């Protein structure tokens, strides 16, 4: 099948007298093909070519969303829903960037997995891709720019239903590339398999949790959502492995909706490892809701401040009205971090906050905390029967209590 090719760019700003000609550096967007199966990885590639006789180094002036996601170019898929999951509201990212060298007569290909951002159900989609490319003659960000041009175009792909054996065949090249000596191919394959997490690759996903791609694979176990992958999450969370992976496994176990693992999270809440304890408490709140409130309340009454903070954080994630009065009481805790966690939990549950002069009211001192506590007591007494209670994915700026 002929690849769907987008040709072209407009060189808009030669910046010096010795700037490259429009023919020296060119770029195009492409997709691998025009027809895909639902659930199959769909990549958009940006290929930058150097037709000159000297090496060049390129950087990207990506649109705002692409910068936020650490991408070199932005894509929009008209009519597609977002595939991004919203947990704990907000995105934070730090993108380590460097210039990319393109040798004379060579090309650089940068690929982006659409399925990571968009849910591609059966249908026909127009994919809009765009970026701005900045060309340097040296591998230095502050070196003079010798050219800058925009790249933008639209591709069309069709996504159609297929049988499981067809989808397995579509994934087989990615499974094989997990053993590739090429790091980029291995990473791309692991990313595609983890992002789409097909249940029939549960064994591959479990194997990836023992690789350098473990962190993403743990999230994929939850998305695959089979009895085998859920049990694998529990084993990682309760095992003796890397604590960061155990924390991630506990968090994802709390997002499975399989309440049979609530006792596992309660068990993890008893650990001496404070980071794992905190992750387990938050996961227990998310998974158990009202059923987890008594255990979390007991944790929040511990003589140890860090343990109280873990219980407080879990109560904020419980999506249960029973947690609200407990959190209001925790505004009077002796530890400022517990008080701050109570403020965050109340915001998450009620979408309300105490404000002073258009800023969050201060709870850093016992006196100011007492005032905030009194305002919350008054509000809850008036709204306990008519207040909506929200969960982790219900993101909204807080409204004032008053």
Q: What is the pLDDT of residue 358?
A: 85
Of the pLDDT bands very low, low, confident and very high (cuts 50, 70, 90), residue 87 is low
**Residue 48, helix vs strand vs coil:** strand
Of the pLDDT bands very low, low, confident and very high (cuts 50, 70, 90), residue 36 is very high
Mean pLDDT over 180-199 rounds to 96
Mean pLDDT over 288-303 rounds to 98
Q: What is the pLDDT of residue 92?
A: 44
Whether 334 and 311 have beta carbons less than 8 Å apart is answered as: no
Beta strands in 78-144 (DSSP E): 81-82, 100-102, 107-113, 118-119, 123-136
Which pLDDT tens digit goes with each residue over 128-163? 999 999 899 888 877 888 888 899 999 999 999 999
Whether 55 and 103 have beta carbons less than 8 Å apart is answered as: yes
Mean pLDDT over 248-268 rounds to 97
Q: What is the pLDDT of residue 63?
A: 63
Q: What are phi and psi of 33, to 5 degrees?
A: -160, -175
DSSP state of 315: H
DSSP state of 19: P
Q: Is a pLDDT exceeding 50 seen at residue 13?
A: no
Q: What is the pLDDT of residue 88?
A: 57
Q: Is a pLDDT exceeding 90 seen at residue 178?
A: yes
User: Which residues on neighbouring strands pair with residue 35, listed in sequence order?
Assistant: 158
Run of H or E including 160: strand 145-160
Q: What is the pLDDT of residue 286?
A: 96
310: Cβ contacts below 8 Å, ≥ 6 apart? 269, 274, 277, 278, 280, 281, 282, 299
Whole-number Å distance between alpha carbons of 271 and 283: 14
Q: How many CB atoms lie within 10 A of CB 250?
A: 31
Q: Is a pLDDT exceeding 60 seen at residue 117?
A: yes
Q: How many CB atoms lie within 10 A of CB 90?
A: 7
Of the pLDDT bands very low, low, confident and very high (cuts 50, 70, 90), residue 202 is very high
Quote the tokens at residue 317. 């994630």
Radius of gyration over alpha carbons of the chain, in Å? 25
Q: Is a pLDDT exceeding 70 seen at residue 21?
A: no
Give the CATH architecture of domain 4-162: Sandwich (2.60)
Residue 324: closest CA among 333, 316, 332: 316
Run of H or E including 236: helix 227-238
Mean pLDDT over 80-109 rounds to 75
Residue 71: closest CA among 39, 102, 93, 101: 93
Whether 62 and 74 have beta carbons less than 8 Å apart is answered as: yes
Our CA angle for 386, 387, 390, nearest 5°, is 145
Q: Is a pLDDT exceeding 50 seen at residue 311?
A: yes
Whole-number Å distance between alpha carbons of 10 and 295: 62
The fraction of the chain above a pLDDT of 70, given in percent, is: 89
Whole-number Å distance between alpha carbons of 72 and 61: 8
Q: Is a pLDDT exceeding 50 seen at residue 9?
A: no
Q: Which residue has the tokens 């999450």?
A: 233
User: For the chain, what is the mean pLDDT?
Assistant: 89
Which pLDDT tens digit goes with each residue over 331-365? 999 999 999 999 999 999 999 999 998 899 999 99
Using left for φ > 0, alpha for ψ between -120 and 50, and beta otherwise, residue 101 falls in beta
Q: What is the pLDDT of residue 115?
A: 94
Whole-number Å distance between alpha carbons of 402 and 389: 18
Mean pLDDT over 374-395 rounds to 91
Torsion of the alpha carbons at 127, 394, 258 and 250, rounded to the nearest 10:
90
Q: Is a pLDDT exceeding 70 seen at residue 1?
A: no
**Residue 119, helix vs strand vs coil:** strand
Task: For the chain, give every domain's residue range.
Answer: 4-162
Whether 343 and 331 have beta carbons less than 8 Å apart is answered as: yes
Of the pLDDT bands very low, low, confident and very high (cuts 50, 70, 90), residue 8 is very low
């Amino acid at each position: 099948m002929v690849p769907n090719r987008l040709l072209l760019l407009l060189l808009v700003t030669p910046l010096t007298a010795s700037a490259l000609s429009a023919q020296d550096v060119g770029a195009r967007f492409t997709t691998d093909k025009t027809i895909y199966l639902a659930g199959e990885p769909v990549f958009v590639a940006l290929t930058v070519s150097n037709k000159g006789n000297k090496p060049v180094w390129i950087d990207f002036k990506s649109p705002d969303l692409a910068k936020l996601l650490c991408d070199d170019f932005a894509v929009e898929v008209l009519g597609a829903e977002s595939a991004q999951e919203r947990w704990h509201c907000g995105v934070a990212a730090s993108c380590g960037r460097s210039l990319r060298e393109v040798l004379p007569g060579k090309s650089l290909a940068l690929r982006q997995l659409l399925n990571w951002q968009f849910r591609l159900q059966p249908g026909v989609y127009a994919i809009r891709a765009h970026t701005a490319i900045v060309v340097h003659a040296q591998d230095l960000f502050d070196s003079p720019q010798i050219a800058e041009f925009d790249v933008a175009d639209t591709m069309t792909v069709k996504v159609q239903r297929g049988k499981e054996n067809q989808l397995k065949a579509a994934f087989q090249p990615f499974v094989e590339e997990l053993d590739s000596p090429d790091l980029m191919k291995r990473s791309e394959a692991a990313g595609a398999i983890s992002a789409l997490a097909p249940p029939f690759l549960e064994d591959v996903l479990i194997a990836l949790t023992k690789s350098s791609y473990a962190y993403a694979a743990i999230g994929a176990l939850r998305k695959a959502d089979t009895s085998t992958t859920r049990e694998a999450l529990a084993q990682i969370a309760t095992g003796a492995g890397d604590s960061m992976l155990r924390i991630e496994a506990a968090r994802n176990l709390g997002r499975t909706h399989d309440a049979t693992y609530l006792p596992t999270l309660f068990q993890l809440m008893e650990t001496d490892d404070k980071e794992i304890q905190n992750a387990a408490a938050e996961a227990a709140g998310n998974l158990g809701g009202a059923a987890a409130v008594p255990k979390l309340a007991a944790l929040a009454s511990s003589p140890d401040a860090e343990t109280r903070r873990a219980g407080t954080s879990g109560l904020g994630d419980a999506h249960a009205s029973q947690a609200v009065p407990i959190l209001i009481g925790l505004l009077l805790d002796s530890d400022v971090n517990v008080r701050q966690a109570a403020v965050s939990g109340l915001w998450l549950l009620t979408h309300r906050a105490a404000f002073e002069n258009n800023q969050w009211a201060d709870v850093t001192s016992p006196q100011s905390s007492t005032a905030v506590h009194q305002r919350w007591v008054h509000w809850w007494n008036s709204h306990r029967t008519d207040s909506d209670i929200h969960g982790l994915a219900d993101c909204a700026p807080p409204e004032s209590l008053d």
